[in-house]
Amino acid sequence: MKKILVLCTGNSCRSQLAEGYLRHFAAGKAEIYSAGIETHGVNPRAIQIMSEDHIDISAHTSNHVDEYSNISFDAVITVCDNANEACPFFPGKVDRFHHNFPDPAKAIGTEKEVMAEFRQVRELIKAYSADFVNQYIQQK
């Protein structure tokens, strides 16, 4: 079974969304982890918007990438440029993927505007995750 790590800066929003969707779409055909090069805690808005799409990430934790140093990953997906640049070396044959998603935690405006940004990023990550599972997990 493939082991996939999603990595971002703080493991609070984008990587949490991706972990939730990758687990959903992989449906037990891969082990999915997420981490940050820092830990900022899981963003409550990320939990809220995922629950709107019937995916519960409320039990997720914000983990530092070093916590997974003993796992041999098959793939690492960086979901922001900062994590891509700071991504540590993973020994062995590890496929690297990168997509820079906007950071919804940096959205400004009214609560309605901020939540709209979270939902927009959620949809981008949902589409990426579905495509990733179809191409990388289902096809191999």
The tens digit of pLDDT for each residue in 4-17 reads 999 999 999 999 99
* Number of Cα atoms under 13 Å in the Cβ half of residue 46: 29
Domain ranges of the chain: 2-133
Neighbours of 87 (CB within 10 A): 16
pLDDT tens digit sequence for 52-108 = 999 999 999 999 999 998 899 999 999 998 887 877 777 788 999 999 999 999 999
For residue 136, is pLDDT > 70?
A: yes
Question: Given 4, 7, 8, 121, which residue is catalytic?
Answer: 8
Burial annotation 26-49 (CB, 10 A radius, 16+ → b, else e): beeebbbbbbbbbbeebbebbbeb
Active site residue 13: no
Contact 22, 49 (CB under 8 A): no
Residue 10, classed as helix, strand or coil, is coil
Q: How far apart are CA 28 and CA 47, in angstroms?
A: 21
What is the fold of 2-133?
Rossmann fold (3.40.50)
Q: How far apart are CA 13 and CA 49, in angstroms?
A: 10
pLDDT tens digit sequence for 16-58 = 999 999 999 999 999 999 999 999 999 999 999 999 999 999 9
pLDDT tens digit sequence for 114-131 = 999 999 999 999 999 999
Question: Given 24, 63, 64, 87, which residue is catalytic?
Answer: 87
Active site residue 80: yes
Q: How far apart are CA 32 and CA 46, in angstroms?
A: 18
Active site residue 87: yes
